[in-house]
Amino acid sequence: MLDQLKRAAADALAELAAVDAEAELAAWRSRHLGKKSPIKTLLGGLGALDATERPQAGREANLAQRRLQAAFDERRAALERAAHEASLGAEALDVTLPGRLPRRGRLHVSTLILRRIAAVWAEMGFQVYRSRDVETDEYNFQLLNFPPFHPAREMQDTFFTTEPDVILRTHTSPGQIHVMRERCPEPIRVILPGMCYRYEQITARSEIQFNQVEGLAVGPGIRMSDLKGTLTDFARRMFGPDTRTRFRCSHFPFTEPSAEMDIECFLCGGDGCRVCKRAGWLEILGCGMVHPVVLENGGYDPGRYSGFAFGMGPERIAMLRHEIQDIRLFWGNDMRFLEQF
């Protein structure tokens, strides 16, 4: 019996030494420490032994059992240590490698310039008024004093929809009517920024969509000198305190008189260069005194109220500023372009 015990224990230990995976270890445990292990079986046969041999055999069996348990614990710990070491090696982090930079988002160049324009007008007391992109022929043209079939409409090739008279706005000016009808008889100082749409051939100089920033001031006693002073102040805040401006006669159906404002070229200071095409001046916006018919269409009595309006193209200003040669770049989604701002 004692020999059998020794042999069973020695076999078990030899087997354990060869175990090197967790699954094998579990199988070994149920084989040698479970209810049907060789040692348990021998213990079960104790009763058949002589009473004098029984105590010693029992002690030896328990001893062998404990030794196997201890060997098992040790082997398990060794395997766990080895697995841990292996994972440390395999999953090692090299903290000296350069990091991977996340791609940072940024604002579109048009958004940047729109915000700059809005900030300057805000300093001067003008609120932002958001007007709709989808308009009717009535608001986009008729109420702004463009009668049906008037040749001034030819400047603004229009996107029509399948709904009769529903169009995409060709300029931000229809917002003038919306804001006047909403605010009348209050005085008004607002800018109206937003996207405009024209059915144009897309070239380096013309796009089917672009932003405009419209402006409108209405109140009692507003004069042409207010228009000139306010727009010149804007130009100085926007382009620098020494910026000179000049106003040239023009025509828009919704203003009378109408003008175009130029600023002295900020690249050459008026000497003449590539950007200003040797003129020394850059055309920045259209403007004028609000036409009496338009004031009336907005609900204001032109006998008591007057106002001025203006409209500028932020993409055009950005093109001059950054010497961008092709307007298609704005909506072309080329990261090499967009990442420069």
Q: Closest residue (Cβ) to ligand DAH?
A: 311
Q: How far is the CB of 327 from ligand DAH (least distance, A)?
A: 15
* Distance from C-alpha of 60 to C-alpha of 46, rounded to nearest angstrom: 12
Residues at the site binding ligand DAH, with contacts judged by CB under 6 A:
171, 173, 214, 252, 255, 286-288, 309-311
- Choose between 65 and 211: whose C-beta lies nearer to ligand DAH: 211
- Choose between 28 and 141: whose C-beta lies nearer to ligand DAH: 141
- Choose between 15 and 233: whose C-beta lies nearer to ligand DAH: 233
Structure tokens of 31?
Answer: 């084989």
* Distance from C-alpha of 336 to C-alpha of 156, rounded to nearest angstrom: 32
Q: How far is the CB of 105 from ligand DAH (least distance, A)?
A: 31
Q: How far is the CB of 309 from ligand DAH (least distance, A)?
A: 4
Q: What does the radius of gyration of the chain's CA atoms come to, in whole angstroms? A: 44
- Choose between 126 and 252: whose C-beta lies nearer to ligand DAH: 252
Q: How far is the CB of 133 from ligand DAH (least distance, A)?
A: 14
Which residue is associated with the tokens 């059998």? 4
Q: How far is the CB of 287 from ligand DAH (least distance, A)?
A: 5
- Choose between 42 and 287: whose C-beta lies nearer to ligand DAH: 287
Whether residue 319 contacts residue 193, with contact meaning beta carbons closer than 8 Å, is answered with: no
Q: How far is the CB of 152 from ligand DAH (least distance, A)?
A: 10
Helices (H), the chain: 2-18, 22-32, 38-44, 54-90, 109-123, 137-140, 174-183, 224-239, 292-297, 314-322, 335-338
Reduced to 3 states, what is the DSSP secondary structure of residue 25?
A: helix
Q: How far is the CB of 117 from ligand DAH (least distance, A)?
A: 14
- Choose between 75 and 316: whose C-beta lies nearer to ligand DAH: 316
- Choose between 37 and 212: whose C-beta lies nearer to ligand DAH: 212
For residue 232, give every residue at least 6 positions away whose Cβ sits within 8 Å of its Cβ, in sequence order, or none: 245
* Distance from C-alpha of 59 to C-alpha of 263, rounded to nearest angstrom: 109
For residue 77, give every residue at least 6 positions away whose Cβ sits within 8 Å of its Cβ, in sequence order, or none: none
Reduced to 3 states, what is the DSSP secondary structure of residue 119?
A: helix
